[in-house]
A = this chain, B = another copy of it.
């Protein structure tokens, strides 16, 4: 145990590193390796692995800092710094006195992280969905490219309209890798209430952690106008969004048309 270390000045990092973490060491000896990686980054990677593998599932409590420090044979401070970064990236949530929880999309807090359309007046409600089409198909070239698939690979295609307080506001099309979301059916989508990302997380073990969005302005064509109950030619926001799961793997392409008659896209630049 060595509770009262008589040893004055060995390098504790080196000892700990050699004991539990890989040889990609932080301070092993006189010559440091060219691919230097801080200990806490290695710990962060290990924790991320456990999150990705499902060892700790969304909503669950992860082991305490002290426990993780013992497991990895590092100090609590090092674990803390690793978890700090994971919390900053919204992979986990810390709660003083209770512990650290795996983030989940089954939470009001998470609902508006990816949906930035806000009502001009009143408090935001989560929209209701009406599914128009759900089918399996082969990935067109552009979809394949964005999802890191081969052209012609199986994908699931979804088209739906979203209603805010009964008003049709968003029409969007989604493409999902068929392999990752094998077994996703229209019935399952319709019966599931709440954000699709919650379903993906619970039923398919795939958690969206990041997204890249590109926005343009377009005019509503006949189809979109009909679905959104607007005049043809009405200006709409056109969003193309690619969402990523662990390892920066793209697992969703979403193309949406947003009516901004009563809503606006909100963005805070920090």
Residues of A participating in the B interface, judged by any CB pair closer than 8 Å:
3-4, 88-90, 113-114, 116, 210-219, 233, 235-238, 241, 258, 260, 264-270
By the criterion CB–CB under 8 Å, are A268 and B215 in contact?
no
Q: What's the nearest-Cβ distance from chain B to residue A103, in Å?
A: 12
- Which residue of B is nearest A264, CB measured? B214
Q: Please indicate the chain B residues that have their CB under 8 angstroms from the CB of A238 in the complex.
A: 217
Q: Please indicate the chain B residues that have their CB under 8 angstroms from the CB of A264 in the complex.
A: 214-216
Q: Please indicate the chain B residues that have their CB under 8 angstroms from the CB of A90 in the complex.
A: 270
Q: What's the nearest-Cβ distance from chain B to residue A209, in Å?
A: 8
Q: Looking at chain A's contact residues, is the secondary structure mostly helix, strand, loop, or mixed? A: strand
Copy total for this chain: 2
Q: Please indicate the chain B residues that have their CB under 8 angstroms from the CB of A241 in the complex.
A: 269
- Which residue of B is nearest A263, CB measured? B216
Residue in B210, B214, B215, B269 whose CB lies within 8 Å of A114: B269
By the criterion CB–CB under 8 Å, are B267 and A267 in contact?
yes
By the criterion CB–CB under 8 Å, are B213 and A266 in contact?
yes
- Which residue of B is nearest A115, CB measured? B269
- Which residue of B is nearest A269, CB measured? B211
Q: Please indicate the chain B residues that have their CB under 8 angstroms from the CB of A216 in the complex.
A: 235, 237, 260, 264-265
**Given pairs A211-B269, A212-B266, 13 additional interface contacts (CB within 8 A):** A3-B4, A88-B88, A116-B269, A211-B268, A213-B266, A213-B268, A216-B260, A216-B264, A216-B265, A217-B238, A219-B219, A219-B235, A235-B235
Contacts A3-B3, A260-B216 given; indicate if A269 touches B235 (C-beta within 8 A).
Answer: no
Q: What's the nearest-Cβ distance from chain B to residue A263, in Å?
A: 8
By the criterion CB–CB under 8 Å, are B260 and A217 in contact?
yes
Q: How far is the CA of A159 from the CA of B57 in the complex (A)?
A: 53
Q: What's the nearest-Cβ distance from chain B to residue A60, in Å?
A: 22
Residue in B4, B236, B269 whose CB lies within 8 Å of A217: B236
- Which residue of B is nearest A235, CB measured? B217
Q: How far is the CA of A264 from the CA of B265 in the complex (A)?
A: 14
Q: How far is the CA of A53 from the CA of B40 in the complex (A)?
A: 36
* 30 A-B residue pairings within 8 Å (CB atoms): A3-B4, A4-B4, A89-B270, A90-B270, A116-B267, A116-B269, A210-B268, A210-B270, A211-B268, A211-B269, A212-B267, A212-B268, A212-B269, A213-B266, A213-B268, A213-B269, A214-B264, A214-B267, A215-B215, A215-B237, A215-B264, A216-B237, A216-B260, A216-B265, A217-B258, A219-B235, A233-B233, A235-B235, A237-B237, A267-B267
